[in-house]
Amino acid sequence: MSDSPAAKALLETFGHIVIINLPERQDRRRAIEAELSKAGIAPGHPAVTFFRAIRPEEPGGFPAIGVRGAFLSHLGVMEMMLAKGWDRVLVLEDDMAFAPGALTRLPIVAAALSTRDWGILYGHPGDRPQHTPAADAQGLITLPADLALIQLHFLGLTRMAAAQMVPQLQAMLTREPGSADGGPMHVDGALNWIRRTTPDLIALAVSPAVAIQRSSRSDIAAARWFDRLPVIRTLTGLLRQMRA
């Protein structure tokens, strides 16, 4: 099943796919496995690892417990990548979905990446088109260091980039909120901070997006009232799936 062009593009480009997932969110696990199956990567593929998302007890200086958990989870994936000696990895959040047409474009993007130097790859161009440079013929954008992007649902990393970012992310954990040197913050903001202060860290984005966030109950934001009631939560989940 992994002989499809999209599967080859993902596996040959990144080598490893790591999915951040809370064990209790089996709904999200099934959904992300279904997305990968669309690309030709079956559940249980040896190149796919599920990273047990971190859910701390306290915010610890972050805006919310979920924000701290997301930060620690992405940091944990980078630390694991370095410990295992992986050269590249594709990090997926479990609410990732492939954008329309993405599976046919992935081989083109992969071919372009093979000829480029890069450290970070965002699977989308961000939400500020008026500030974003035009993509090249293969759909890649070289991001200016001061162009902030949010959402890390599809994030490619090289070992060199992880080695640069891990010490800086760890240092943020030791600082006070609002520190001028960079303290606890949303993890996508932390990566933007690091990109601004690390000029040699090359970040690329894909346009049009190859990945979007699937509509799903958030594990970062505080749960809304209809997500706190079990029966209504189930119905809400079904409605979200119908909209996706």
Peptide bond into 177 cis (omega under 30): no
pLDDT of residue 156: 98
Mean pLDDT (whole number) for 91-106? 98
Output phi, psi for 4, to 5 deg: -70, 155
pLDDT of residue 2: 60
Q: With cut-offs at 50, 70 and 90, classify the pLDDT of residue 130.
A: confident
Angle subtended at Cα 48 by Cα 54 and Cα 41, rounded to the nearest 5 degrees: 135
| pLDDT tens-digit series, residues 210-233 | 999 987 655 644 443 333 444 444
Answer with the residue of higher pLDDT: 235 or 15.
15
pLDDT of residue 215: 76
pLDDT of residue 148: 96
pTM: 0.88
User: Residue 28's Cα: distance from chain center in Å?
Assistant: 14
Beta strands in 85-202 (DSSP E): 88-93, 96-98, 120-122, 140-142, 154-158
| pLDDT tens-digit series, residues 142-179 | 999 999 999 999 999 999 999 999 999 999 999 999 99
Q: 9 and 110 in contact (C-beta within 8 Å)?
A: yes
Average pLDDT, the chain: 90
Report how far residue 40's alpha carbon sits from residue 17's, in angstroms, rounded to the nearest whole number.
Answer: 13
pLDDT of residue 52: 98
Mean pLDDT (whole number) for 101-128? 96
Q: With cut-offs at 50, 70 and 90, classify the pLDDT of residue 234.
A: very low
Contact partners, residue 165, CB within 8 Å, separation at least 6? 78, 191, 194, 198, 201
